[in-house]
Chain A
Amino acid sequence: MATFPLKIMTPDGVAFDGAVTSVSCRTINGQLQLLARHIDICTALGMGEAHIKLEDGTVRRAACMGGMLSMLGGECHLLATTFEWADAIDAERAARSKARAEVLLAQKNLDKRDMQLAEARLRRALVRSSVAARKDI
């Protein structure tokens, strides 16, 4: 299959730089997959699982949150706030963070801001643990 260059960048550095046959991630509009020779596109990312397919068919999965995906002149850039490969996710930490957020959300007297923060934490934890749990694929 045709490949295209993909560069995944986060504020902490470059997470991936190489040729892939496809990249898929969760955008603000839902899951989106790009293949080689896609039209120029630019969209913002939501929180969810991202996977890329390398030339030899191996699939690498990751938890990807916030940022931007763009394809310009055949080159793809994925700028993520956090991007963690499935094998690098600390599942225990995610579970702990999920439990903490659930305890917080169970309280009734949260103000709006704390509520949003706890919800965002819960969502991040859920994404991480779901990505980490599907190690088989």
Chain B
Amino acid sequence: MAGSMKEIKLRIRSVESTMQITKAMELVASSKLRRAKERVEGSRPYFETLYSTLYDIVSADSGFDSPYLARRDTNRRLYIVIAGDRGLAGGYNSNILKAIEADAEGAEYCVLPIGKKAVEHFERRKAAILTTAFAEAGDLSVSDCFEISRLVCQKFLAGEFDEIRLGFTQFVSMLTQTATVLPVLPFDAQRPEPGHERESLMMYEPDGKTVFDAIIPEYLAGVVYGALCESVASEQGARRMAMDAATKNAGEMIDHLNLYYNRARQAAITQEITEIVAGADAES
């Protein structure tokens, strides 16, 4: 009996130390989440205005054509996949990777993974990888996103890829994050029928096509940066939730173990008393 008491005591101690770690991770994740959320909110207006301007240019004017608008038969697709650098974030990494798998079903594709988990996953699956230069999702800056955009635009214009899609985790709220796959190139917009142009009084300097072609790489970099911010925030959100659940579980486990411990302790005492009484009976 004394042996099992000791075992339970050890078990409780180990669960307690795990609980301390999960609790600390939860606190770290919530403070990082706050910062990441501010970054998401800061980047949104830039990106949204950029998108709506591009959309306006394209939908108002059918007079120009750009290689970024041309729909080609999709033979080779490029996925830019943003996942985390570390695990222990609930379903965060597996959700986005599964979403990509489902979306790419049957198609020939190539990936540009961002985040160590994404790199590991696609290396294991032996998928075609464009570059692993951006493995650390945590330290990517705006200029890295421009680097990515330059690379991708160049490949797209060279005809190496017919379609570019971006996989990231949308930060809906503190409690909800959704894995999303977003087509980014060719730029998708409702073109007016040729001849039925909407009268646009907008003046493009020097002209619509030049402006559009100059802005597209900016737009792509903006999208990647925005998606990165969203993903980082989602990762912290998912980790916070997962660690919160782990802390709660550990608490419950400790309660159970305490119950067993007390039971074992009482059993030991009862046995001792029985032995004493039996001994006294034998003497008299």
Are A and B subunits of one complex? yes
Q: Is the CB of B42 within 8 A of A44?
A: no
Give chain B's interface residue range (CB within 8 Å of chain A). Answer: 20 to 34
A27 at the binding interface (Cβ < 8 Å): yes
Q: Is the CB of A43 within 8 A of B46?
A: no
The 9 residue pairs across chains A and B that have the minimum distance between CB atoms: A13-B42, A44-B214, A43-B205, A9-B46, A41-B203, A40-B202, A11-B225, A11-B43, A44-B211
A12 at the binding interface (Cβ < 8 Å): yes
Q: Is the CB of A79 within 8 A of B211?
A: no
Minimal Cβ-Cβ distance residue in B for A46: B214
Give the residue of A14, A28, A43, A79 whose beta carbon is less than 8 angstroms from that of B50: A79
Q: Is the CB of A42 within 8 A of B46?
A: no
B64 at the binding interface (Cβ < 8 Å): no
Q: Is the CB of A66 within 8 A of B218?
A: yes
A53 to B79, CA, bound (A): 44
- 21 inter-chain pairs at a CB distance below 8 angstroms, sorted by A residue, are A9-B49, A11-B43, A11-B47, A11-B222, A11-B226, A13-B46, A29-B205, A29-B206, A39-B203, A41-B205, A42-B57, A42-B205, A44-B211, A44-B215, A68-B53, A68-B211, A68-B215, A79-B46, A79-B53, A81-B142, A81-B218
Which residues on the B side are within 8 Å of A13 (C-beta)?
A: 42-43, 46
Judged by DSSP, the binding face of A is strand
A77 to B52, CA, bound (A): 12
Which residues on the A side are within 8 Å of B202 (C-beta)?
A: 40-42, 72
Q: Which residues of A, 8-35, contact B by the 8 Å Cβ criterion?
A: 9-14, 27-29, 32
- Minimum C-beta distance from B147 to chain A (A): 9
Give chain A's interface residue range (CB within 8 Å of chain B). Answer: 20 to 34
A67 at the binding interface (Cβ < 8 Å): yes
A70 at the binding interface (Cβ < 8 Å): yes
Which residues on the B side are within 8 Å of A66 (C-beta)?
A: 218
Q: Is the CB of A42 within 8 A of B53?
A: yes
Minimal Cβ-Cβ distance residue in B for A66: B218
Which residues on the A side are within 8 Å of B42 (C-beta)?
A: 11-14
B146 at the binding interface (Cβ < 8 Å): yes
Known: A13-B43, A41-B205. 18 other contacts (CB 8 A): A11-B42, A11-B47, A27-B205, A32-B205, A39-B203, A42-B203, A42-B211, A43-B204, A43-B206, A44-B215, A68-B53, A68-B211, A77-B49, A79-B50, A79-B53, A79-B218, A81-B146, A81-B218
